[in-house]
Amino acid sequence: MIRFYLKGLFRDRSRSLMPVIVVAIGVTLVVLLHCYVTGVLGDMVVFNARFSTGHVKVMSRAYHENISQLPNDLALIGTGDLLAHLRNDYPEMEWVERIQFGGLVDAPDENGETRSQGPGGGMAVDLLSEKSRETQRLNLERSLTAGRLPETPFEMILSEQFSEKLEVVPGDKVTLISSTMYGAMSITNFTVCGTIRFGSPVLDKGGMIADISGIRQALDMEDATGEILGYFPSGDYDDEKASSIADSFNAAYSNPDDEFSPVMLSLREQNSMTMYLDLMDYFKSLIIGIFVIAMSIVLWNSGLLGGLRRYGEIGLRMAIGEEKNHIYRGLITESVFIGLAGSLVGTLFGLFFSSLLGRGIDISSMAQNSTMMMQGVLKARITPDAYYIGFIPGLIATVLGTSLAGIGLYKRKTAQLFKELQA
C-alpha cells in the first residue's frame, strides 16, 4: 500500500508538488532562523564566557556585591591554595586567574612629557606560562592588527582604536596610572607590543591586555586575584553541570557571614545571562510554533482545494466499498510522505543559506555606543539541532492541515454518490 501511495505522489505532481513547495519554503525559514538565532545569541554567550564570566566564576562575596566597580581591594587572597583545592576537587574543569584593572594610560613624547592620555580598562591573564590556553581562548593571535603578543611581564596589548587615540604604535612606552589593592597610587611603565581588534565596541573603546604577573606587581596583588574562572574542556557551556559544581563549591567553601569568603557563580547567574539563555529556548519554540500554525493554515486550504479536485476520485472509492476511515488514513499517509519530502528539501536549502550567513553580518558601525558585551559580527551557526528541527513543523503542519481538510470526507453521503458520478 505504501508503494501505491508513493507512486501516486511521484506520478501525479499536481497532487503533491504545491504542498511539497509550501512545506519546503516553511522549513527553509525555520532552519535559517533557528541557525541565525542560535548563532547570534550563542556567540553572545560564548563571547561573555571567554572574556568575562567563564562557565563558572569564583570571587569574594564583597567583590561580587560590587562587581560593577571591579574592586580589586576586595579581591581574593591566598589564591594559590584555593586554586589547588579547585583543581583537586573539580579536575574536569580548567581554572584560570584573571585581574580586571583600569586607570589612566599616559603616552609620553620624546622628552618624557605627556603627549596624550586617556582612561582605559584592561584584563590581566596568564600569557607567559607554557600550559596556559588563554591566548587561544581569547583568540589573541588572530585578532592582532599589528605587533606581537607580550613576551615579558611589562608588555601590554592595546585595542587598535585606543592606540590610535593615544597615537602610539608597537614599541612605544606608556604609563599606567592606577591604584594598588591597598588603595595606594600605582605608576608603572609598560611597553606597547601590539594592537588588537576585539570585535566588541565595549572593549575596543579602551581595552588593554597584559600578563597577570606584571599587573600583580603593579597593583601589589601577589598571591591575590580578582577572579578565578572555570571552563569546561569542550568549550561548550553545560548549565546543569555548572550549577551543580557551583552549589557543591559554595556548600564546602563559602561562608555567608564572611564577606571575603569565596563564592562561585555559574554563567547563568552573571551579566543578565539568564535572559539570554532563556531567550534562546524561547525563540526556538516560538519560531517552530509560528510556522506550524502558518503552514497548517496554508496546507489546510491546499487540502481543501485538493479535495475538490479529487472529489470524483474519492467518491468512486467510496462507491466501490472503500471505508471512509481507510480513505482518511490514506490521505494522512500521503501527507506524511509529502511532509518528509518537503522537510528534506527545506532542510537542505536552510542549511545552505545558513552556511552563507555563517560569514556574518557586520554591525559594529551601528553598535559603537553599545555597552553590551557582544561581538560586532552577527553570524548564523549550524548546530546538530538544525539537521532535524525542520522536520518537526514540516510533518506536524502537513498532517494537521490534511487532518482538518479531510474531515469533510465524513460529511459525504453514500446515497448521493452515484448521482454525483453520473453528473
pLDDT, tens digit (0-9, with 9 covering 90-100), for 255-314: 888 888 999 999 888 877 777 777 777 777 777 777 777 777 776 666 555 555 565 666
pLDDT for 398: 80
Q: Classify residue 22 by burial, with Cβ atoms within 10 Å: 0-12, 13-18, 19+.
A: buried
Instruction: List, for residues 140-171, the tens digit of each pLDDT value.
Output: 888 888 999 999 999 999 999 899 999 999 99
Instruction: Give the residue from 163, 195, 228 where a domain finishes.
Output: 228
Please give the mean pLDDT across all residues of the chain: 81
- Determine the 3-state secondary structure of 131 from DSSP: coil
pLDDT for 309: 59
Confidence category of residue 216, pLDDT binned at 50, 70, 90: very high
Instruction: Give the residue from 228, 261, 285 where a domain finishes.
Output: 228
Same domain membership, residue 198 and residue 119: yes
Q: What is the mean pLDDT of residues 83-101?
A: 93
Same domain membership, residue 317 and residue 182: no
Listed residue (288, 200, 280, 289) closest to 239, CA to CA: 280
**pTM beyond cutoff 0.75:** no
Confidence category of residue 85, pLDDT binned at 50, 70, 90: very high
Same domain membership, residue 109 and residue 35: no
pLDDT for 366: 46
Residue 100 pLDDT > 70, yes or no?
yes
Could you tell me if residue 60 is inside a domain?
no
Instruction: List, for residues 174-187, the tens digit of each pLDDT value.
Output: 999 999 998 899 99
Residue for cell digits 584593572?
101
- Determine the 3-state secondary structure of 189 from DSSP: strand
Q: What is the mean pLDDT of residues 408-423?
A: 61
Same domain membership, residue 279 and residue 404: yes
Instruction: List, for residues 32-60, the tens digit of each pLDDT value.
Output: 888 887 777 777 778 788 888 889 999 99
What lies within 8 Å, CB to CB, of 295 at 6+ separation is: 22, 23, 26, 393, 394, 397, 398, 401
Residue 373 pLDDT > 60, yes or no?
no
pLDDT for 6: 61
Could you tell me if residue 175 is inside a domain?
yes
Confidence category of residue 200, pLDDT binned at 50, 70, 90: confident
97 touches 212 (CB < 8 A): yes
Residue 368 pLDDT > 50, yes or no?
no
Residue 107's CB: how many other CB atoms inside 10 A? 20
Instruction: Give the residue from 167, 195, 228 where a domain finishes.
Output: 228
pLDDT for 46: 80
Taking the alpha carbons at both ends of the chain, their separation in whole angstroms is 30
30 touches 397 (CB < 8 A): no
pLDDT for 382: 85
Same domain membership, residue 199 and residue 290: no
Question: Phi and psi for 404 in degrees, rounded to 5?
Answer: -70, -40
Could you tell me if residue 322 is inside a domain?
yes
Residue 19 pLDDT > 60, yes or no?
yes
Listed residue (114, 151, 122) closest to 138, CA to CA: 122
Could you tell me if residue 268 is inside a domain?
no
Could you tell me if residue 138 is inside a domain?
yes
pLDDT for 5: 58
Could you tell me if residue 55 is inside a domain?
no
pLDDT for 8: 60
Instruction: List, for residues 101-131, the tens digit of each pLDDT value.
Output: 989 999 998 888 888 889 988 899 999 988 8
Same domain membership, residue 407 and residue 314: yes
DSSP category for residue 64: H
Could you tell me if residue 253 is inside a domain?
no
Residue for cell digits 601589589?
220
pLDDT for 369: 46
- Determine the 3-state secondary structure of 302 from DSSP: helix
Could you tell me if residue 154 is inside a domain?
yes
Residue 75 pLDDT > 50, yes or no?
yes
Range of the domain at 195: 98-228
Residue 227 pLDDT > 60, yes or no?
yes
Residue 212 pLDDT > 90, yes or no?
yes
Listed residue (291, 316, 153) closest to 222, CA to CA: 153
Number of domains in the chain: 2
Instruction: List, for residues 239-250, the tens digit of each pLDDT value.
Output: 889 999 999 999
| Element containing residue 29 per DSSP (H, E) | helix 13-48
Same domain membership, residue 395 and residue 330: yes
Same domain membership, residue 403 and residue 311: yes
Residue 327 pLDDT > 80, yes or no?
no
One-letter amino acid of 373: M
